[in-house]
Amino acid sequence: MIQAKIMRFYIPALFILINAMAVYLPAQNAALNAKHFNLEKGVALAGYDAVSYFSGKPVKGKSNFQAVSDGVKYNFATAANRDAFLKNPNAYKPEFGGWCAYAMGANGEKVEVNPETFKLINGKLYLFYNAFFNNTLNTWNKDEASLKTKAEKNWKSIFK
């Protein structure tokens, strides 16, 4: 009898707790993304179309073809690209929040990028700083395996 009363209390309480967590965790993730992602005027990739990188040449997106994923806004050149992104956002999002992959690997720093200096590695988008006679993609290419491993470790420590 006592067990039945306890179960009638705990099952609804557990259900309420699970539902609260389902709302809280995505909101927390969105806040972390907004805090740690490289955003220009609130938009990822300096407004470039994330899907366009995978067709060979990045192009600027338009705000009328915009999508939000995990609290981060992305612009797209076409509605088709926006829709492709929304079907599988993780396939198109830049690594390390869109910060320079080389700088993340070399010393764990968030460094701005040139959105047209990029590399696709195993289906993932990596961006690089390229200004003032310093293209970090060239340096990255000399020690990619080591820098990539270090960058992944450094990003995990930043993105807590």
DSSP 15-58: HHHHHHHHHHHHHHHHHHHHHHS-EETTEEGGGB-TGGGGGTS-
Nearest to 128, CA basis, from 146, 140, 142: 140
Angle at 32 between CA 30 and CA 35, to 5 degrees: 110
Domain-located, residue 154: yes
Spatial contact of 95 and 128, defined as CB atoms under 8 Å apart: no
Q: What is the pLDDT of residue 56?
A: 87
Residue 150 located in a structural domain? yes
Question: What pLDDT does 24 receive?
Answer: 37
The tokens 């990188």 sit on which residue? Answer: 53
| pLDDT at residue 35, rounded to an integer | 78
In this predicted structure, what is the pLDDT of residue 36? Answer: 86
pLDDT per residue as tens digits for the range 101-140: 999 999 999 999 999 999 999 999 999 999 988 999 999 9
* Residue with the larger pLDDT of the pair 16 and 67: 67
Q: Is residue 5 within a helix (H) or strand (E), and if so which, with residue range?
A: helix 2-36
The verdict on residue 151 lying in a domain is yes
Residue 147 belongs to a domain: yes
Whole-model pTM: value is 0.81
Domain presence at residue 86: no
Q: Is residue 114 part of a domain?
A: yes
Residue 142 neighbours by CB under 8 Å, 6+ apart? none
Please state the domain count of the chain: 1
Residue 127's domain comprises: 94-160
pLDDT in tens, 6-27: 445 444 443 443 443 333 334 4
Structural domain contains residue 76: no
Residue 1 lies in a domain: no
